[in-house]
Structure 1
Amino acid sequence: MDDLNSRFHLIATGGTIDSYYNVDSCTPECFEESVLPHYLQQHAMLSRQSFQFTQLCMKDSRDISPQDREAMVERICSSPERSIVLTHGSFTVFETARYIADRQGSFTDKTVILTGALKPIDGFVHGDGLFNLGAAILASQHAKPGIYVCIEGQLYLPSDRENWH
């Protein structure tokens, strides 16, 4: 029971969850720097010591490249934490989850949870971002080792769905 609430590694890659709503273009746009550590500390009351944070990129998931996905795998492999939460855009989150799962042989002892949101965390009181992020953190600490997508209060295997919407 000692590692029931173990440290986790939060890896940010952008997506709507880590964006702001641009009123001129009527679309979410990724921040240059992730707001997720701030939100976890200020709104979820997590201490900065309870998680490691890495910002790999800040992109719309439709712009994620094979090189970005490989960087995700490399960061997961090199992380000292067994619980990994990777935030990602909703359009290609299942594609990325399948990519990571295909390379899981080098980190079979880790639980990797991909999550995102349909509304940005910043500026949307009734969005799904903080809920999905909190559910993903909990899942990363309690699910069996493997690769999962956590959205809308559910855990999915990468092969369970083709896409989110």
Structure 2
Amino acid sequence: MLVLLGLVVWGAVVYPDLPDEVPQHLGTDGVDSYAAKSVGSVFLPVFVYAGVLALMTGVTVFSLRMRPESELEPGARTSPFVNRPRTRAGVRLLARAQLFLACCIGLTMGLTCLVMWSTEKVDKSPGGGFELLTLAPTAVGVLALLGAVLRDRTADRSAR
């Protein structure tokens, strides 16, 4: 929520100083699409992140309500579509990793706003691997989530 709030405040502060056209897409060769300055075009990354954050929060709440395998009765029917964590500690670890991923996605959106919310007309990419740098926070969040899942799985094997 703090990342979302930061993006809203930052966008509100820079909005009056933005040019009449703002970048909408940054390709490998630089900005390849512009849009007229409007609340919708300027705050698009914020709206997208708000939706992602709501979705990720809902998934986290669902995850926390899930009963881990260790709490199921012997022979209980389970859905083959749900990959349950093994223990309650695994559930909490998964929930924290999901919220961390949501935060990392917000940081990725913030990095895209560096270009989109430039107060000067931007025609080219900042260079220096900026596109990869922009994706790095989300990649870190995905790795953390995968690590949480793998940790739960390996902890179960070592307990046997």
Q: Report the TM-score, using the length of structure 1 for normalisation.
A: 0.28
User: Which has more radius of gyration?
Assistant: 2
Higher strand share: 1
Q: Report the TM-score, using the length of structure 2 for normalisation.
A: 0.29
